[in-house]
Amino acid sequence: MITGLATTLRSVKLARPWGAAVPYNHVIVCRVTLDDGRVGTGISWTPQIGARAVQALLDHDIREAVIGLPEHPAQVWDYLVTHLSEAGRGGLTSIAMAGVDLALWDLHCGERPLAEVLGARRESVPVYGSGVNLHYSLDELVAQAERWKAAGHTAVKIKVGRPDLGEDVERVAAVRDVVGPGTALMIDANQRWDLFRARRALAALQPYDPHWIEEPLPADDLAAHVELRRSVGVPVAVGENVYTVHGFRDLLTAGACDVLQPNVVRVGGITPFLRVAELARAFDVPVYPHLMMELSGQLALALHHPAMVEQAEDATLADLGVLAEPYPVAVEGGLLRATGHPTRWA
C-alpha cells in the first residue's frame, strides 16, 4: 500500500541548448513509499514549460489521491486519470502522472531490468542520431551529422521549418551529402507548418529521400494530417505531443500516420505507453518511442514491431544526471542493447 509521495525539482543545464529559449531541461523526481518501507523512484519531465505546475499537482492533488492505494501501476493510473480529469486528461496532468507510474514500475521491477520484465523480443534495436538543431549554423549542422556518421548510426534526424524553404533544402541536402544514400534521413518540423507549407516543403525535399516527416502540422489537427498523408509520398510520423490513449486511437482510426512516437512521460508512464503500443499493433503501425533513450530503448526491445530509438545528442537521461551507473542500456555501432542492469535513478 502507498504511504507517501515526495518530489524534487531539478533544472539541468543542457550541454547544447535547444535554442536561446531552452537552455535547461526540467526533471521532477518522484519517490513513492510503501507500507513495507520500499521506495520506488520515477520522473516527470518538461524541457521548457510547466515544471512547477507539474510538481504542484504531484505534491498536492496526486499525493492526497494515492495515499492508501495498492502499489499496482495500472490500478493507480486508472484511478488517477478519472480523479484528475477536471484538470484535463493530458498535458501537465499526464506528465505528472508519469512520475507516479514510473515509480510504481520501479517497485514492480525491483532488481530486474525493465526490458526483462516486459519480455524482450530482440537483442538490439537501431539508434538514430538526433538533436534540436534548427538554430545551428549550416557548418554546425554538418559537423553534427559527421559525428553521427562516425558513431555508426544508420539513421539520423534533423529539424526543418526555417522561414525560408530554400534554407531547409540547403541544410537537408548538406546532411544527405554527409551521411550518404544508404542512411535513413528523417526530418522533423516540430509543428511549424500548415497544410499548404507542408505540401510545398515536402515537394522540395523529396529528392533527398526523407525517411519520414515528423510533426509536420499542429499535433491536434487530425483532419490536416489525414489530408497530408493522403496527398504526399513521404511517411508521416506523429505522437510526441499526443497525451492520451484516445488521441492515439483517433490518429490510427483516421489513418493519419505511418509511425507513432509516444513519449513515455507525456502519455503518463509505462502503463499507458503499453496500451498505445497494443493499439498500434492492432493497426499494424510501428511504434518508435520518443526521446528518453534509456527507458525508450528497453520498451523498444519488447515491442511487437521492430523499432528505432532516438539518441538526442547530450540530452539522454544519463546526460541529464537522473540515472545512476551502471546504466540499463548501452549503445555501440549504432545499436542499443540491454546491459542486464536495472534502471537506477540518481
**DSSP result, 174-206:** HHHHHH-TTSEEEEE-TT---HHHHHHHHHHHG
Give the pLDDT band (50/70/90) at residue 316: very high
Q: Examine the residue annotation and report whether 225 is marked as an active-site residue of this protein.
A: no
Give domain limits for the chain.
Answer: 2-109, 115-338
Task: Specify the DSSP class assigned to residue 115.
Answer: H
For residue 305, count other CB atoms closer than 10 A to its CB.
16
- Residue-level pLDDT at 306: 87
What three-state secondary structure class fits 7? strand
Which member of 153, 157, 211, 290 is catalytic?
290
Task: Say how far apart CA 125 and CA 140 lie, in whole Å.
Answer: 28
pLDDT in tens, 287-314: 999 999 999 999 999 999 889 999 999 8
With a threshold of 0.75, does the pTM exceed it? yes
Rounded to an integer, the average pLDDT of 264-285 is 97
The CA-based angle 188-21-210, given to 5 degrees, is 10
Could you check whether 2-109 and 115-338 share the same CATH topology? no
| Residues 6+ positions from 223 with CB-CB distance below 8 Å | none
- Average pLDDT value for the chain: 96
Task: Say how far apart CA 192 and CA 200 lie, in whole Å.
Answer: 13
137 has pLDDT over 90:
yes
- Residue-level pLDDT at 243: 96
Q: Examine the residue annotation and report whether 290 is marked as an active-site residue of this protein.
A: yes
Instruction: For the chain, give the percent of residues with pLDDT over 70.
Output: 100
CATH 1.10.10.60 fits 2-109, yes or no: no
Rounded to an integer, the average pLDDT of 26-37 is 98
Q: Which residue has the cell 490513449?
A: 245
CATH 3.20.20.120 fits 115-338, yes or no: yes
Per-residue CA distances from 43 to 15, 46, 100, 256, 317 (Å): 21, 10, 8, 30, 10
The CA-based angle 116-120-121, given to 5 degrees, is 160
Rounded to an integer, the average pLDDT of 223-237 is 97
Which member of 149, 157, 159, 211 is catalytic?
159
pLDDT in tens, 53-73: 999 999 999 999 999 999 999
Rounded to an integer, the average pLDDT of 130-139 is 96
pLDDT in tens, 143-171: 999 999 999 999 999 999 999 999 999 99
